[in-house]
Amino acid sequence: MVPFAIGSETAGSMTYPAARCGVTALRPTFGSVGRTGVMSISESLDKLGPFCRTAADCAIILDAIRGKDPDDLSSRDISLDNPFTVDITKLTVGYLDDAEMEVIEVLKTKGVNMVPFKLNYTVESVQGILNFTMDVDMLAHFDEWQRQGKDAVYEAQDQWPVELRRARMISVVDYVQAQRARGKLIREVREGFEVDAFVGNATDWEKVCLGNLVGIPIIVVPTGFTSISNLPSGGSKRRTTLNTGIYAPPEKDHIALALAMAYQSVTDHHKQRPPIDDLAPDELAPGRESVVYPSRRLHM
């Protein structure tokens, strides 16, 4: 309902909502966008990026918000090459086993060299590294809040208060070892990035953890819809979203954007809207009556 929105991600808080809602979103290279004024969870993981209707919009918004923030020491002046002028026929793009094949075929027809790809790394327990990093960083931010007992009135006692208390049990040695493993993971992923980009599942938890630990950009692209499970007896027009992720090496956000724009130039999945005013009576929430909404009009 808006031209764009700004999201933040530590471990999936952009990729998962974008995938669920069927919108296009870019989680850019770590450090691309300053985070002043945003509630931090983990200074070495938090990233800001745009939710938009299209990849082209994501490119425009990223160009407007990127840059060095004097109050955010992790931010940098990372150059953004023009994604609108990338010659995608000169790119070699990998695809993982879990990639949406329609995306592969569309990019092939656009002249992209598509090849099978596997991202190899030897580091184990990527999720464990992310948990150690995020929890300890988060506790450092909310240490005083918890020590003063303010977490006692938090509305969900089984969630963040417990998570922060658990983080106090992580030893310094374990935390340092996790950061050593993270450094090794970053080196291995960067060295193993033998393609210009790759296509794969955007919400696979291993990839979400890996992408955030390494700081690589991903653009989440809607690729279609499928029927919901447990259909009502009379059938339903309700559907759930399908999507894919296009991953690029750090500081190569323009490559992911260019490929997403190429895909969206010949598909219309990103233009679809939920049938909020065209549901059957048995699809409404209990106690709700059907409401007829007027057609959308552009007011000039």
Q: How far apart are the first and last CA of the chain?
A: 17
Is position 291 within any domain?
A: no
Same structural domain for residues 59 and 156?
no
Is position 280 within any domain?
A: no
According to the model, what pLDDT value does residue 105 have? 94
Helix (H, G, I), strand (E, B) or coil at 291: coil
What is the total count of domains within the chain? 2
Is position 94 within any domain?
A: yes
Query: pLDDT by residue (tens digit) across 35-51?
Result: 999 888 888 999 999 99
CB 181 within 8 A of CB 123: yes
Domain range for 59: 4-117+196-271
Same structural domain for residues 40 and 57?
yes
Query: pLDDT by residue (tens digit) across 60-116?
Result: 999 999 999 999 888 999 889 999 999 999 999 999 999 889 999 999 999 999 999
**Confidence grade of residue 291 (pLDDT, cut at 50, 70, 90):** low
Is position 18 within any domain?
A: yes
Same structural domain for residues 30 and 77?
yes
- Report angle CA 140, 141, 142 to the nearest 5 degrees: 95
Is position 15 within any domain?
A: yes
CATH of the domain at 62: 3.90.1300.10
Burial class, 154, CB count within 10 angstroms (exposed 0-12 / middle 13-18 / buried 19+): middle
